Amino acid sequence: MKWGGIVKMQGGPRHQSCLKYGLHYVAKISLSLLWLTFSTVAIAADDRAYELRRAWTKLHFPDCPVGVSFTNEESPVGIVVLQRGMIHVLPTDRAAEVAPVFLDMRDRLKEEIHFESGLHAVVFHPDFATNRRVYLSYSQSEPRRAVLSEMMVRAGSEFRADPGTERVLLEVPHQLADHFSGSLAFGPEGMLYWSIGDGGMRDDPHGMAQHPFLLQGKVVRIDVNHRSGSRAYAIPVDNPFVDKQEWRGEIYAMGFRNPWGMSFDPGTGELWLADVGQEMFEEINVVTKGGNYGWAERDGPQRLIAKGEAPPPPGNFIDPVHSYSRTTGEGICIVGGYVYRGSRLAQLQGCYLYGDWGYGKLWSFRRAEASGGQAVNALLFVHREGEERFNPTQICPDPDGEPLILNHSGWIETVVEVAK
């Protein structure tokens, strides 16, 4: 089959480190590491079943979009988050030419110039209609750290966050200016989940993702509606390690490298997370309470190459539900991702939609239990050489559950079936 060309990779959010590490240790790879468990359906470049269309036909942003979020109201209001500090209101008119400003954090983020620094996510409180709260994840320097904070949106005709109301909930130190992660999602039970990367060093040399008293390399779960002790939030009493003195009670799951895209399936309540790999695999995880997903003892479904012949530590690591190789041309930087529950794309119902930033690809993944005993990973779209640049940075649902694909170039795309 003829495949679309690989997109020229330029410095971009969370993914530039992939360029540095993608070819390390390739000479050491044995055939046993060409791990092929899932059935992959390839779409030839001249026979696409799906194509991209601009979701807002005239809105082009001058910065990289990294997330969208919608209020949970009868008439939802949406925003788009740009990496270097601007947040805009998404017009209800998909042909609009102007997107009003929701928040301008450029002055606060003017020192956040590195590949993965900046704004990472914004999410509205589930009860936004009554409490007007919004939550932000971003990086800061001097000292370098990841920040989780809360702001208020004032009532009135202008839908705009008030930076004067910011309340910092949590700050996590960071060694380097990458692997921040920073995805946010409210769970079905109303708790806030925040993914935090391992700190940015190769092979996680300090073992931070496996350390029980550090928040790096973890998914944390907090209660933003209450406070406990001197914290600006409360630790839920049903968190898995809340009663263990040697553990941080905020930890929900551990063993992650650089999660990029985290979302709950509205159909099942499961938490899905895409984790950017180091040299062998990109992976998708279904995150469970107290689960350990292996980094940096494992890279995807295999032992991390840097561990050599050292025996693995005791404990049960949870394998990804799907992974793909970084060494065989499948991709180099995964982008999450959500489980499709819309109505427009019937064949994708119940599939996890995700992409690869470096290769300009979109896939749908259906687990074995949902597809008659064999997992199916279908390539929906691949960038063709000579086409307009396509590097997806996030794939998320609009209020109807239909896909919005954020493009590093500044456009917001959607997926449509090709008419036959």
Let me know if residue 349 belongs to a domain. Answer: yes
23-45 in b/e form (b: 16+ CB < 10 A) is eeeeeebeeebeeeebeeeebeb
Strands 403-407 and 412-417: antiparallel
Q: Are 252 and 218 in contact (CB under 8 A)?
A: yes
Which one has a higher pLDDT value, 46 or 246? 246
Tell if the pTM clears 0.75, that is, is over it: yes
Among 14-28, 72-86, 155-169, the minimum mean pLDDT is found in: 14-28
With bands split at pLDDT 50, 70 and 90, how would you rate the model's confidence at 47? low
Among 3-17, 185-199, 201-215, the minimum mean pLDDT is found in: 3-17
Among 38-42, 50-54, 193-197, 271-275, the minimum mean pLDDT is found in: 38-42
- How far apart are the C-alpha atoms of 125 and 390, rounded to whole Å? 31
Let me know if residue 373 belongs to a domain. Answer: yes
CA–CA–CA angle 21, 26, 32 (5° rounding): 125
Let me know if residue 5 belongs to a domain. Answer: no
Q: What is the pLDDT of residues 215-224, one digit of tens each?
A: 999 999 999 9
If we measure between CA atoms, which residue out of 366, 367, 331 comes closest to residue 22? 331
Average pLDDT over residues 400-415: 98
Average pLDDT over residues 58-86: 97
With bands split at pLDDT 50, 70 and 90, how would you rate the model's confidence at 46? low
Residue 397: pLDDT above 60?
A: yes
pLDDT number for residue 126: 98
Let me know if residue 321 belongs to a domain. Answer: yes
Percent of the chain topping pLDDT 90: 83
Q: 389 is written with which tokens?
A: 């640049």
Let me know if residue 1 belongs to a domain. Answer: no
With bands split at pLDDT 50, 70 and 90, how would you rate the model's confidence at 13? very low
**Number of structural domains the chain divides into:** 1
What single string gives the DSSP state of each residue in 262-276?
EEE-TTT--EEEEE-
pLDDT number for residue 27: 35
3-state SS string for 46-90 = CCCCEEEEECCCCCCCCCCEEEEEECCCCCCCEEEEECCCEEEEE
Q: 12 is written with which tokens?
A: 């971009």
CATH number of the domain residue 105 falls in = 2.120.10.30
What is the chain's mean pLDDT, rounded? 90
Q: 420 is written with which tokens?
A: 């036959």
pLDDT number for residue 49: 87
pLDDT number for residue 97: 97
With bands split at pLDDT 50, 70 and 90, how would you rate the model's confidence at 43? very low
Domain that residue 353 falls in: 16-417
Among 116-125, 307-316, 387-396, 401-410, the minimum mean pLDDT is found in: 307-316
Residue 18: pLDDT above 80?
A: no
Average pLDDT over residues 19-47: 39
If we measure between CA atoms, which residue out of 110, 14, 125 comes closest to residue 64? 14
Among 84-93, 244-253, 317-326, 378-387, the minimum mean pLDDT is found in: 378-387
Q: Which amino acid is at 377?
A: N
Rounded to whole angstroms, the maximal C-alpha distance in the chain is: 63
Average pLDDT over residues 157-170: 97
Residues near 414 by beta carbon (within 8 Å), at least 6 away in sequence: 52, 53, 54, 55, 402, 403, 404, 405
Let me know if residue 11 belongs to a domain. Answer: no
Let me know if residue 257 belongs to a domain. Answer: yes
Average pLDDT over residues 341-368: 97
- How far apart are the C-alpha atoms of 345 and 320, rounded to whole Å? 26
Q: Which amino acid is at 277?
A: G
Residue 30: pLDDT above 70?
A: no
